[in-house]
Amino acid sequence: KRIVAALAALAICATALITPALAQEKKFTVALIPGLTTDGFYITMRKGAQAAADALGVTLVFQGAPDFNPVTQVPVLDAVIAKKPDAILIAPTDKVQLVEPLRKADDAGIPVITVDTFIGSGVYQTGAGEADFPLSYIASDNILGGEIAARALAKAIGDKGKVYVSNVKPGISTTVQREEGFKKEMAANHPGITVLETQFNDNDANKAASQLQAVFARNPDLVGVFGANLFSALGAANGVQQVGQTGTVKVVAFDAPTSIVDNINTGLVDVAIAQHPAEIGYFGVVSAYAHLTGQSIPVAIGTGFTIMDKANIADPNISKYLYSE
Ligand code: T6T
C-alpha cells in the first residue's frame, strides 16, 4: 500500500512539473500588434503566436491597424497599453517614430519584444542609445534576405542589365535592410548589373504596378525588379504583366502569399523568398512567457527563409511555408 501511495504522489509531482497550466497559476495576457492586420505575413505570424499561446495557457490578443503606418499604429499601441497586458509583442512600423510610444509601455512596466521590425538599431539591452529597452528582437535576417534576392535576380538575368528595387518607404527597418543587402551584393559581386533608383510605393500594390510601367517606359532595356515585400512584389509582378514583359523582365519577390504559386508557375515570378512568420510569432510568445516566468531570454532570435521557385514549389516541404490568408 505504501508503495502504491508513494507512486501516486510521484505521479502527481511529475504531472505538476510537466503541465505548464498547473505549474503556472497566473494566466498571462500577451498582446501582438502587427504592422497591419490585412497582410498574410502577419496573419501567419498570429497563427504561430496562437499555437504557442495555446501550448502555454497564455491569452493572446491580436490588435492592429488596417495599414502599415505609425499614424494608425500608435493609437492601437496606446489602447493596448491602457489595458495593461503582461507583455507586448509588436512589429513597429517605423524605427524612429515608435520609440517614444513604446517607451510608455516600458515605463508602465510592460515588457516589450519587437517582432519582424525593430526600433533604433535593433540591438537591444546594451545601455546604448534611446531605443535599447525592448527585451528581444525576433525576425528574419533581412540584410541576408536582400543578398539572397540579389543573387537570385543576378542569376535570372545572366548577371547583366538594368534592375530596380520596388520598396515600401524609408524608415521601416526590414525593407530598408533588404534593399541594403541587395545593393551591397550587387555592388560587390555583379559589376554588369546597374541598379536604378528605388521606387517607393507606400505598401500599395497598385502604385508599385504603375511605377513598374513608368520605369519600363523610361528604360525599355529593364531586365529585372526586386519586390522588397509582399505588396511591392505583387504590384511589380502585375506591372510586368501589364507591360507584356512576362518572362523578359524577371521578378524576385520577397514574401510568399498563396497567389505567388500561380505567379511562379506562369513564369511571372522567378523566385520568392518566404519568411517564416509563424516561427516569429511562436517564439515571440514563448519568449514573453519565459520572461514572465523568470527565465532569461535571448536578446535576438533569427528565423529562417525558404527559397521558392518553379522547380520546388510543388514540394509540400516547401509549400508549407506559403502564408495563410
Ligand atoms: O515583408 C513583411 C514584413 O517582414 C515587413 O516588415 C513588412 O511587409 C511585410 O509584412 C509583407 O507585406
From 39, 167, 325, give the residue whose CB has the most ligand 1 atoms within 8 Å, as the site to mutate.
39
- Residue 24's pLDDT is 59
> Which among 46, 174, 203, 207 is the best mutation to test ligand 1's pocket, defined by most ligand atoms within 8 Å of the CB?
174
Decide if 199 contacts 211 (C-beta within 8 A): yes
Is the pLDDT at 22 greater than 70, yes or no? no
pLDDT at 25: 75
Provide the pLDDT for residue 151. 98
Question: Taking residues 285-300, what's their average pLDDT?
Answer: 98
Q: Give the tens place of pLDDT for each residue, 200-246.
A: 999 999 999 999 999 999 999 999 999 999 999 999 999 999 999 99
Hey, which of 142, 180, 230 would you mutate to test ligand 1's pocket, going by the most ligand atoms within 8 Å of its Cβ?
230
Return all residues near 244 (Cβ < 8 A) that are at least 6 apart. Answer: none
Q: Quote the Cα angle for 119-37-257, to 5°.
A: 100
CA of 238 to the centre of ligand 1 (A): 18
2-11, 146-155, 264-273: lowest mean pLDDT where? Answer: 2-11
Distance from Cα 229 to the centre of ligand 1, integer Å: 5
116 lines ligand 1 (CB under 6 A): yes
Measured CA to CA, the distance from residue 251 to residue 227 in angstroms comes to: 7
124 lines ligand 1 (CB under 6 A): no
Question: Is residue 153 over pLDDT 90?
Answer: yes
Please compute the mean of the pLDDT values over residues 122-138 and round it to a whole number.
97
| Strand blocks (E) in the chain | 29-33, 59-62, 87-90, 112-115, 136-140, 161-167, 193-195, 199-200, 222-227, 250-254, 271-275, 300-303, 305-309
The C-alpha cell of 36 is what?
497591419
Strand partners, 30: 60, 87
Choose one of 175, 178, 305, 323 to mutate for the ligand 1 pocket test, by most ligand atoms within 8 angstroms of C-beta.
175
Cβ–Cβ under 8 Å, residues 287 and 136: yes
Residue 181: phi and psi, rounded to 5, are -60, -40
Over its C-alpha atoms, the chain yields an Rg (Å, rounded) of: 22
Identity of residue 304: G
Rounded-to-integer distance, Cα 166 and Cα 67, Å: 18
pLDDT band for position 194 (50/70/90)?
A: very high
Q: Does the beta carbon of 230 lie inside 6 Å of ligand 1? A: yes
* Ligand 1, atom 4: closest residue by C-alpha: 116
Q: How confident is the model at residue 12 (pLDDT cuts 50, 70, 90)?
A: very low
Give the number of the atom of ligand 1 that is nearest the alpha carbon of residue 34. 10
Confidence at 131, pLDDT banded by 50, 70, 90: very high
pLDDT tens-digit profile of 263-280? 999 999 999 999 999 999
Average pLDDT, the chain: 94
CA of 264 to the centre of ligand 1 (A): 20
More confident residue, 24 or 22: 24
Residue 23: per-residue pLDDT: 52
Q: How far is the CA of 18 from the centre of ligand 1 (A)?
A: 36
